[in-house]
């Protein structure tokens, strides 16, 4: 119902100049600058799958790097890249940086992710963990103090706990700490950190006493070495899954992921334009291949409409929403396409 209602409102929006999609032949017949996708390591598998899907029979250079959301957005807002992958909405600081450089952009939802709390597959005692226990373990106050499993749960063994998590340039770091510790910057620092999620997978998989958190897609790809813990949140203990995220049961650690596209480059670079149209049209398939939780087909059609109608800016106003349902996120994401009387 959300998708159908938004679809009707889009027809009434009357926003911006329409940008018709280019065909593959048109894109190849025009000069196009190479495309580098920088940013989120969580979205990196999606980008790799999108590039592989797109390159079949097409000319043009498209590559991706997992630098972390904050690092990717810094390059994007400086005008150094035309496409950034983000595992959180653009921040207020980044909005200001983009504005100062005259970088107008489109915000395109790609799917949903579930930040997954994992332990080593050999761990037999931990099955679930509460948001309060996660706060006890990961807040800045825990640094150098909470170092053993029993300190988190008295029924767990008196053994050292090895922590593995994203670094400060990661959108996963920001979202986890806002959801669990109340602030993006409230985190202990005495743990193995990296913006590369494969490093975090190895950190947990190689240490029987480890606990870490990262994107659902990396857990999915390494299920034989890892065990996901159910998170006790406002809906009770829930294991991350496609069903629990789409039904808004996995709270507060589910979040939307995005592409941010330079509006001027989207208009002038036929390779970028064709890649974005191709990727959004096949968004559900690509998200599933990459281990992300896909949007509905009807919603990807709305994202395509957002590109076609050149709807610029963010629906999140530089804030990091926590605990929104799938429907609420989508409503906010497409709010800019509604006429004032329908907002």
pLDDT in tens, 223-270: 999 999 999 988 889 999 999 998 889 999 999 999 999 999 999 999
Measured CA distances, 213 to 69, 107, 131, 183 (Å): 16, 26, 13, 17
| Contact assessment for residue 49 and residue 289, using Cβ atoms and an 8 Å cutoff | yes
Alpha-carbon Rg for the chain in angstroms: 20
pTM reported for the whole predicted model: 0.84
Residue 216, pLDDT score: 95
End-to-end, the C-alpha distance of the chain in Å comes to 17
Q: In the chain, pLDDT over 70 holds for what percent of residues?
A: 85
pLDDT (0 to 100) of residue 27: 44
pLDDT in tens, 313-328: 998 888 877 777 666 7
Which CATH code is given to the segment(s) 116-239?
3.40.190.10
pLDDT at position 219, please?
A: 96
Q: Which residues of the chain have pLDDT under 50?
A: 1-16, 22, 25-30, 339-343
Domain residue spans of the chain: 2-112+255-342, 116-239
- Within 8 A by CB and 6+ apart from 74, the residues are 94, 97
Length of the chain: 343
pLDDT, position 54:
92
Of 255, 307, 254, 256, which is closest to residue 279 (Cα–Cα)? Answer: 307
Domains 2-112+255-342 and 116-239 share a fold: yes
* Cβ proximity of 83 and 61 under 8 Å: no
pLDDT of residue 60: 72
**Strands laid side by side in the 128-130 sheet:** 128-130, 230-233, 236-238
Superfamily (CATH) of domain 2-112+255-342: Periplasmic binding protein-like II (3.40.190.10)
What is the spatial distance between Cα 68 and Cα 86, in angstroms, rounded to a whole number? 8
């Amino acid at each position: 119902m959300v998708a159908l209602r938004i679809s009707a409102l889009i027809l009434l929006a009357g926003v911006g100049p329409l940008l018709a999609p280019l065909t593959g032949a048109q894109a190849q017949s025009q000069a196009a600058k190479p495309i580098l996708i920088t940013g989120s390591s969580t979205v990196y598998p999606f980008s790799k799958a999108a590039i592989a899907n797109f390159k079949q029979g097409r000319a043009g250079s498209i590559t991706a790097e997992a630098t972390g959301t904050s690092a990717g957005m810094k390059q994007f807002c400086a005008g150094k890249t035309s496409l950034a992958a983000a595992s959180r909405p653009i921040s207020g600081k980044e909005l200001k940086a983009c504005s100062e450089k005259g970088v107008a952009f489109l915000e395109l939802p790609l799917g949903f992710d579930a930040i997954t709390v994992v332990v080593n597959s050999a761990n037999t005692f931990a099955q679930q963990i509460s948001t309060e226990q996660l706060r006890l373990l990961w807040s800045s106050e825990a640094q150098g103090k909470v170092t053993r499993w029993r300190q988190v749960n008295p029924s767990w063994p008196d053994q050292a706990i090895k922590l593995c998590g994203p670094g400060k340039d990661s959108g996963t770091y920001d979202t986890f700490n806002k959801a669990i510790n109340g602030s993006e910057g409230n985190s202990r620092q005495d743990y193995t950190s990296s913006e590369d999620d494969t490093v975090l997978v190895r950190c947990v998989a190689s240490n029987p006493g480890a606990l870490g958190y990262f994107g659902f897609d990396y857990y999915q790809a390494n299920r034989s070495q890892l065990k996901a813990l159910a998170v006790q949140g406002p809906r009770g203990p829930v294991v991350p899954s496609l069903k629990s995220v789409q039904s808004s049961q996995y709270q507060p650690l589910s979040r939307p992921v995005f592409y941010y596209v330079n509006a001027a480059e989207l208009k002038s670079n036929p390779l970028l334009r064709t890649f974005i149209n191709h990727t959004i049209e096949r968004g559900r398939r690509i998200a599933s291949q990459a281990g992300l939780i896909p949007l509905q087909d009807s919603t990807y059609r709305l994202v395509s409409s957002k590109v076609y109608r050149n709807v610029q800016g963010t629906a999140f106003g530089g804030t990091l929403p926590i605990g929104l349902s799938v429907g609420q996120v989508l409503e906010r994401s497409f709010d800019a396409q509604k006429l004032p009387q329908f907002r």
